[in-house]
Amino acid sequence: MPFALYSRSIKAAALVGSGLASFARTRRSAEATILTFHGLSEDSEDQGILDWSLHLPVEVFRSTCSMLAKEYHVISLADLVEARSRGTCLPDNSVVITFDDGYASNYELAYPILREFGLHATIFVTTGFLDGVEMFWFQRADLALGRSQKELLDWKINGKKLRLYLGTYELRQQSLKRLLPELKELPDTDLLSEMDRLEEALEVSTPAFEDLPKAMRPMTWEMACEMSLSGHVDIGGHTHTHPILARCDVMAMRAEISTCRDRIHAEIGELPFAFAYPNGGTDDFTRETLMLVREAGFKAACTTVSGRVHDTVSMHQLPRYGSPESVLEAKATVSGAFETLKDWRQSCRKAMSMI
């Protein structure tokens, strides 16, 4: 386990064991929490994938859902948006489950668990991915570094020189971790050509969809329709090709958002009410993005900025937490223990600065 995740797990265990999570759960019961997942996996030891951070072990998801069903009120994102829009109260300790991208594992692994516990989720799909015409650029980067026969690559990007070591699986993982942030900084018009250049340098071909490892594969529209009709899942928008929208010009942003909306409408039969910004950080969307999302008819949009949903939060900048790596981390997150600890630290710093 990476040190950062190990440290967070230790902190979560301390917050739950000390009783702070129980205290926060009572104190912050009027605030809602939105959790973000991507894919699930049954075998995270498969070395065909370098970055497993997007594919949570299914047993962790099942244990998290079991805990949420017993101790919290899991509501739909639509219910949260309607309540906040009308100024009505949510059930105490409300939690919303969301997924990004549209992996087949959402249907094959997550959907049966949602039905088992009677829970609801919103899945934000990248429509070109489901159409089978637009593979994610970060999947191409992962597989290129993972499948290359080279042991070293010197790479120039964004005015920097990166030495990417590829001699072992662990070194390939580290190199991918260094490369991805640099790729995210590129204008969208340059990103795919950069991926072509990278694959050529690594002497690998762009994989076909049927060559993707199981955990990386997209769901089909038939899967999405079945889940939508079940009452357990809403389908939301996540662009058509998954660009970071702040790296696009306005025309490209509009096309990504509207094409995504229209494809979902055509396949599901309903206009999606919610949207999620790819990557989702504060620098990954702009004022123009917010305007275009509203213009497209989306009533709400989710970020990946950590935070609780309270009365003053913008419906088009909803905060979400990343997927917890354990049930203890899930408890510390949805209870508000992490936020309470952060608040206390800020109060202490402020008090010390006044001495």
- Assign residue 65 the CATH number of its domain: 3.20.20.370
pTM of the entire predicted model: 0.94
Same domain, 31 and 91: yes
pLDDT, tens digit, 9 for 90 and up, residues 108-136: 999 999 999 999 999 999 999 999 998 99
Return the pLDDT at 46.
77
Same domain, 51 and 93: yes
Domain of 186, in residue numbers: 137-206
Same domain, 163 and 312: no
Return the pLDDT at 8.
72
Q: Mean pLDDT for the chain?
A: 94
Could you tell me if residue 264 is inside a domain? Answer: yes
Compute the average pLDDT of residues 48-66. 96
Give 3's pLDDT tier (boundaries 50, 70, 90): very low
Same domain, 166 and 301: no
Return the pLDDT at 7.
66
Same domain, 184 and 296: no
Look at the chain and report how many structural domains it folds into: 2
Same domain, 333 and 229: yes
Could you tell me if residue 255 is inside a domain? Answer: yes
Same domain, 142 and 253: no
Half-sphere exposure at residue 39, Cβ-oriented, CA atoms within 13 angstroms: 24
Boundary of a domain, candidates 206, 224, 249: 206
**Dist CA 141 CA 176 (whole Å):** 7
Only one residue has tokens 């000390």, namely 18
pLDDT, tens digit, 9 for 90 and up, residues 256-278: 999 999 999 999 999 999 999 99
- Amino acid found at 55: H
Could you tell me if residue 25 is inside a domain? Answer: yes
Answer yes or no: are the C-beta atoms of 99 and 123 closer than 8 Å. Answer: yes
Could you tell me if residue 270 is inside a domain? Answer: yes
Beta bridge partners of 40: 56
Half-sphere exposure at residue 295, Cβ-oriented, CA atoms within 13 angstroms: 13
Boundary of a domain, candidates 189, 206, 223: 206
Same domain, 123 and 230: yes
Same domain, 97 and 235: yes
Task: Kindly report the backbone phi and psi dihedral angles of residue 139, in degrees, each rounded to the nearest multiple of 5, phi listed first.
Answer: -70, -40
Only one residue has tokens 């993982």, namely 173
**Can you read off the two tokens belonging to residue 110?**
């997550």
Q: Which residue has the higher pLDDT, 112 or 347?
A: 112
For 276-329, give the DSSP string. E-SS-STTSS-HHHHHHHHHTT-SEEE------B-TT--TTSB--BPPPSSHHH
**Dist CA 197 CA 310 (whole Å):** 45
Same domain, 118 and 247: yes
Could you tell me if residue 338 is inside a domain? Answer: yes
Same domain, 128 and 170: no
Could you tell me if residue 202 is inside a domain? Answer: yes
Answer yes or no: are the C-beta atoms of 225 and 235 closer than 8 Å. Answer: no
User: Packing angle between helix 20-27 and helix 3-17, nearest 10 degrees?
Assistant: 80
Compute the average pLDDT of residues 192-202. 97
Helices marked H in 39-136: 58-71, 77-86, 104-105, 111-117, 127-131
Answer yes or no: are the C-beta atoms of 238 and 100 closer than 8 Å. Answer: yes
User: Is the confidence at residue 293, as pLDDT, over 90?
Assistant: yes
Half-sphere exposure at residue 166, Cβ-oriented, CA atoms within 13 angstroms: 20
- Amino acid found at 114: L
Could you tell me if residue 355 is inside a domain? Answer: no
Same domain, 237 and 337: yes
Could you tell me if residue 1 is inside a domain? Answer: no
Give 12's pLDDT tier (boundaries 50, 70, 90): confident
